[in-house]
Amino acid sequence: TWTVCDGSNNCTTCDQEIFLRRAMTADITLPPNFDNIDQPAFSCSDPTICLDPTLACTGVPTINGIPADGGSGFCELNVVSSDDTLFVDAGSFTILRTWTIVNWCNSNDILQEVQVIKVEDDEAPTITCPANFTAGTSANACEAIVILPAAQVSDNCSPLDQITVETFLGNQPINGNGGSLLLPLGMHTITYVATDDSGNSSSCDVQVTVVDDIIPVAVCNAK
């Protein structure tokens, strides 16, 4: 009831009726999927990543923007969630978050939906090659057995699945970080390739120059 009075104390009243309607599951707005369709997926290296269902970044069911749990005025609704995690590899996985909303005032009014939350490793490893270097030939051959130093490799989320060393000579790659190669005279480009468990790859090159640094041996005829 609203009452309005003027300075002479003449008053009048009017009534306003406010109807309260019970919330229904049909009023629910569900949080979006983070699946690169509804919303972008999360990066596994993002320091702000939050996967707890109580946090705002992945969202909760709402009614008119208000969280639809019993603590927000919708006491007739009960909201619960459960997670199932599907691992693709160590750095990429998907959370299937099942939201169940039950209307305690109507046993037939139940809503259950799955929210898809993807976490992806889409960054390649960081790789730094050794410095360019020069190697000398063997004593009796115009080629050198070159010992390749290891590259410095790191990754954001996934274990390093493979590090190989490749040459332009058509040799089979060396499965390992460094190793030995037989190289002829000249300048050679050696490529290091690092691949993480999610299939992301990066590479770098080192120049190896093979020179003939063996001093000739003079052989004189005996008199």
Chain-centre distance for alpha carbon 149: 30
* pTM of the model as a whole: 0.68
For residues 34 and 117, is the Cβ–Cβ distance under 8 A?
yes
All residues at 6 or more sequence positions from 31 whose CB lies less than 8 Å from its CB, including other chains: 58, 59, 60, 61, 62, 99, 115
**How far apart (Å, rounded) are the C-alpha atoms in residues 189 and 129?**
12
| SS3 assignment, position 154 | strand
Cβ atoms within 10 Å of 209's Cβ, excluding its own: 14
Residue 194: other Cβ atoms inside 10 A: 24
The pLDDT profile of the chain, 223 residues, written as one tens digit per residue, is: 999 999 999 999 999 999 887 888 999 999 999 999 999 998 887 766 666 656 678 888 999 888 887 666 677 888 999 999 998 776 788 999 999 999 988 888 999 999 999 988 888 889 999 999 999 988 778 889 898 898 888 888 877 777 777 765 555 567 778 888 888 899 998 888 888 888 888 999 999 999 988 888 888 887 7
